Structure formats: structure tokens, C-alpha cells
Amino acid sequence: MAQWETGIDRLKAAYGAWSRTKGESADTWINLLADQVDFRSLANGRLGIPWTKTRTSPAEVREYLRGLMTTFQMDHYTVDRYICQDDTIVVICSTAWRNRATGKRFDTPKVDVWRFKDGKAVSFFEYYDTAGVGEAAAP
């Protein structure tokens, strides 16, 4: 069995919950993670979105999610497809969020790259329109 097969069903369920709850389901992501994880975001803490810095544990990833949800409210999260090979699952999607304080909105295509080992996510890297997110995060 390929490593991606150990995580794909749980990952699909997590994306489904994330979309249905408009981002209010942080535990679905935390429960996917190994104790040590390489969790990265393209902005890497810059552009007025400090919570996007690299995280290495489930507790730190929870801080990332808290920062995201404190600043923004999800409009949608739509998965287009999953591409799986070896230990990697690539999720091609799109998402839109609104700044809770200013009402500024961003809508971006997004690609998430996950690596799994023994059913747990050991790495994650998200790619998106960093300029658009940074602009929407600005006061």
C-alpha cells in the first residue's frame, strides 16, 4: 500500500468538514498530523499575516488556524481534485475569505501538498495568492 492510501480518506473528510463548517473545524486538521510535522505556508509569516510562519507541531498548527480564523471568515473552500503518488497527496482547490474587521475579501486558487507516513501527515505546504491575502489582511 502506498503511503498516500493511508491518509486519503481522512484527508477528504477533513476538507469536507472544513468546507461545511466554514473553517470552524480545526480539530479535523490537528487529528491528521503526526507529532512532528513540517507545516508551511507560502507567505511564511510575512505580508501582515504572521500566523503563516512555519509550524512543527500540532499545537503550533492550532496557532496558525487560530490566527487565520481570528482574522478572516471563510466564504468558501472548494476542492477540485486530489492527485496521489507515493507518500504525497496534492489538493487543487480554491478559497475565499473576508477580513472580520475591515470586510476586505480575497478569492484565490490554492494548491496544498501533503505527505503522509503511517496514516499521519508529516508535511504540508500551501500555495496561494500571497499578495491578495496580504492585501485583505491589511487594516
Show me where the domains of the chain are located.
3-137
CATH of 3-137, one of 3.40.50.150, 3.10.450.50, 3.40.50.720, 3.30.750.24: 3.10.450.50
Residue 138 pLDDT: 93
Q: Which residues contact 87 (CB under 8 A, 6 or more apart)?
A: 2, 3, 4, 115, 116, 117
pLDDT in tens, 86-125: 999 999 999 999 999 999 999 999 999 999 998 999 999 9
Q: Which residues contact 67 (CB under 8 A, 6 or more apart)?
A: 49, 50, 51, 52
Q: Exposed, middle or buried, 127 (CB in 10 Å: 0-12/13-18/19+)?
A: middle
Residue 32 pLDDT: 96
Q: Look-up: residue for cell 507529532?
A: 35
pLDDT in tens, 5-46: 878 999 999 999 999 999 988 999 999 999 999 999 999 999
Phi then psi for residue 89, to 5 deg, are -125, 125
Residue 1, pLDDT > 80, answer no
